[in-house]
Structure 1
Amino acid sequence: MTARDRLLAALVALCWGLNFPAIHLSLEQFPPFFLVALRFALIAIPTVLLVRPPRAPRRWLLLYGAGFGVLQFVFLYWAMDAGMPTGLASLVLQSSAPFTVVLAGALLRERITARQAIGVLVAVGGLAGIAVHRAGLDGGATLVPVLLTLCGGLGWALGNLGNRQAVRAAPGEAFRLMLWMSVIPPLPMLALSLAVEGPARIGQSFQGLTAPTGLAALGGLAFTVVVATVGGSGLWASLMSRHPATTVAPFSMLVPVVGIVASWLLLRETTAPVEIAWGAAVVAGVLIGSTPPRGTRRGQPPAADATGTTSAVAIAATPSPRPVSPSASVVVADTVTGAPAAADSADCASSRR
């Protein structure tokens, strides 16, 4: 991996880490469920008009969109609106990694390797430590946002399974799949917002958009859509097309670091040292579970077993009866955008269009 590509990978992690404070600013103006609908609608409308649909079966695209686009962001935005600290949210959302490993084993009957099992146990231990610490604060009230964020991680994991199956069915179209996944959440999220938040609250959120809070919210929304989702996912897709997932994916572990630091600098939000320590255990567990087996050649994807390599950002496709080329698809979903990338040169070209 060249120095330039390392800088690009770090830049993507920076964008995705800054996405959490951007979401926080947007939630200061818009109700959470409506904000999810608005966020995806801004991507869905030009996608329907300008991007041809992917070849993947609709059931996998629907699972991807329902898990990643709807369930993850319903619970993540709800949690942050209910008081989940911005930096801590970026840590707890890494729960999608162990959830993905477990779900792949339970639903897809994939064998969980010893390394992955150890990684899951370490990550779950870190998450449990955070939950126990939060349960002891303010009479346990701060535990609820943590549980909501964990539900968001579970939704992300379900979306990961649909994402991977879709990319396997339509290799080279991962970036297009991400765009069309965005078509799924707007209508159900708008319906949920109307039912729970109500038309009055939605209408009120459009008042004062020229005030500092409103402008900050619009800026945060623009950052989430343009910089983190479209720009960040495009760069990530390009990197994944040129390098093995196990080389690129660990850079995503910079996301919670950036999220915590940015929340401290921009929002004056502090994270307790004990939570940082448990968060380090979560990150360590994810890295352990995504480390390729010994003997994997440098510059090549890891040898495929029944599970491949799974982390918060990388799920290797399971082996097929026919030989797998070095450009076999590897599904990648970023931390808050859902942007996948396939190790395929065609997808690299599509991400630059």
Structure 2
Amino acid sequence: MKAKDILLGLVVIVIWGLNFIAIKVGLQDVPPLLLGALRFFFATFPVIFFLPRPPVAWRWLIALGLSINVGQFAFLFLGMKLGMPAGLASLVLQAQAFFTLAVAVLLLHERWLWHHILGLVIAAAGMSVIGAQQGGSMTAIGFWLTICAAASWGTGNVVMRRATQGVPPFSILSLIVWAGAVAILPLALLSWFIEGPSAWQAAFLHPSLNSAASILYLSYLATLVGYGLWGKLLARYPAGVVAPFALLVPVVGLSSSALLLQEHLSIWQCVGALLVMSGLVMHVFGQRWFKPAA
């Protein structure tokens, strides 16, 4: 990769790593489901009027919006509201890589390779260690809701792969924006009936600078700028070259949470985090590292 493109990749990783700080800040004043709806509302309008609908069937576009946007962010925001620390959320959410493969095996008949299985076993051991550390800074429900978010993201990845098979090239940003538009109404309805009109009233009548900054960050930086730059990199380089950058998101998430939110991991959580990262690295690089010499 060219040096400027490596820099772009690192910019995206920093934006996405700090995304978890923005979520935690926003959740202080805005209920989680409403925060999700507002994120996609501002990421969609007015940008959608300048981006043509991607050449993807409506059924796939709706399925993508419901899985990768409604499912992932409803579970993630609820989990973080109910006790999942921002740094650990950035790490546990990366279990999406294994859910992606599991769903692809079931629906697309892809095959598990040895390094996938080994990476899954190592990461699952790490998740088990983290999940066992309930109490203190992390709750059980926050942990499991984040796991559900990772499963929704993994399902959405497979939907995206299936939806884009055989279609002409298009801007990934248009897909992100149009799938985001699908998520607005479901998230708003869930918020209205679960969180209630009083929560909306409190959020809109007494807005804070922190909540406004959080929504702007989530909508424009994390969504439009982040995915826009990521799409440019994917257009220039193979996915196998670009995707490993995502392994740095938990590094930024954990370090920034410790610095800005004073979140500190226990010894066992550090052990679990190290195992999860090792499993992810094995999942991505295992075949390349241990490929027999010709």
TM-score normalized by the length of structure 1:
0.78
Aligned partner of residue 111 in structure 1, secondary structure: coil
Aligned partner of residue 52 in structure 2, secondary structure: coil
Aligned partner of residue 46 in structure 2, secondary structure: helix
**In structure 2, what is the Cα distance between the partners aligned to 1:61 and 1:292?**
33
Q: Would the aligned equivalents of 1:246 and 1:292 in 2 still touch at CA under 8 Å?
A: no
Q: Partner amino acid for 2:70?
A: V
Question: Equivalent of 1:188, from 186, 189, 192?
Answer: 186
Question: Equivalent of 2:175, from 167, 170, 177?
Answer: 177
Q: Partner amino acid for 2:231?
A: A
| Alignment correspondent of 2:210 | 216
Q: Partner amino acid for 1:234?
A: G
Aligned partner of residue 291 in structure 1, secondary structure: helix
Q: Partner amino acid for 1:268?
A: Q
* Deviation per residue, 1:108-127 (Å, 9 max, x gap): 22111112121222221211
How many Å apart are 1:293 and its aligned residue?
A: 4.0
**In structure 1, what is the Cα distance between the partners aligned to 2:173 and 2:116?**
27
* Deviation per residue, 1:322-349 (Å, 9 max, x gap): xxxxxxxxxxxxxxxxxxxxxxxxxxxx
Question: Equivalent of 1:235, from 229, 233, 249?
Answer: 229
| Alignment correspondent of 1:78 | 78
How many Å apart are 1:291 and its aligned residue?
A: 2.2
| Alignment correspondent of 2:163 | 166
Deviating above 6 A after TM superposition, structure 1's stretches of 4 or more consecutive aligned residues are none
| Alignment correspondent of 2:200 | 202
Q: Would the aligned equivalents of 1:98 and 1:124 in 2 still touch at CA under 8 Å?
A: no
* Deviation per residue, 1:42-76 (Å, 9 max, x gap): 12232442221111112221221111100111110
**In structure 1, what is the Cα distance between the partners aligned to 2:194 and 2:123?**
34
| Alignment correspondent of 1:29 | 29
How many Å apart are 1:274 and its aligned residue?
A: 2.0
Q: Partner amino acid for 1:192?
A: L
**In structure 2, what is the Cα distance between the partners aligned to 1:256 and 1:44?**
27
| Alignment correspondent of 1:98 | 98
Gaps of 5+ in 2: 290-294
Gaps of 5+ in 1: 296-353
**In structure 2, what is the Cα distance between the partners aligned to 1:39 and 1:227?**
11
- Aligned residue pair count: 290
Aligned partner of residue 184 in structure 1, secondary structure: helix
**In structure 2, what is the Cα distance between the partners aligned to 1:141 and 1:28?**
17
| Alignment correspondent of 1:154 | 151
Aligned partner of residue 271 in structure 2, secondary structure: helix
Q: Would the aligned equivalents of 1:83 and 1:145 in 2 still touch at CA under 8 Å?
A: yes
CA RMSD of aligned residues (A): 2.0
| Alignment correspondent of 2:292 | none
| Alignment correspondent of 1:284 | 278
**In structure 2, what is the Cα distance between the partners aligned to 1:200 and 1:294?**
54
**In structure 1, what is the Cα distance between the partners aligned to 2:227 and 2:286?**
23
The 5 A counterparts of 1:275-314 are 275-291=269-285, 293-294=287-288
How many Å apart are 1:238 and its aligned residue?
A: 1.3
Whose helix proportion is higher, 1 or 2? Answer: 2
Q: Would the aligned equivalents of 2:115 and 2:286 in 1 still touch at CA under 8 Å?
A: no
**In structure 1, what is the Cα distance between the partners aligned to 2:286 and 2:169?**
23
How many Å apart are 1:204 and its aligned residue?
A: 0.6
How many Å apart are 1:171 and its aligned residue?
A: 4.0
Q: Partner amino acid for 1:27?
A: L
**In structure 2, what is the Cα distance between the partners aligned to 1:43 and 1:76?**
18
| Alignment correspondent of 1:319 | none
Cα gap change, 1:200 to 1:21, in 2 (>3 Å)? same
TM-score normalized by the length of structure 2:
0.93
* Deviation per residue, 1:169-192 (Å, 9 max, x gap): 434222211111101111011111
**Structure 1 residue 132 and structure 2 residue 109: aligned?**
no
Q: Partner amino acid for 1:106?
A: L
Q: Partner amino acid for 2:69?
A: G
| Alignment correspondent of 1:244 | 238
How many Å apart are 1:266 and its aligned residue?
A: 1.3
**Which of 81-90 and 2-11 deviates more?**
2-11
**Which of 67-76 and 167-176 deviates more?**
167-176
Quick one: percent identity of the two aligned structures? 36
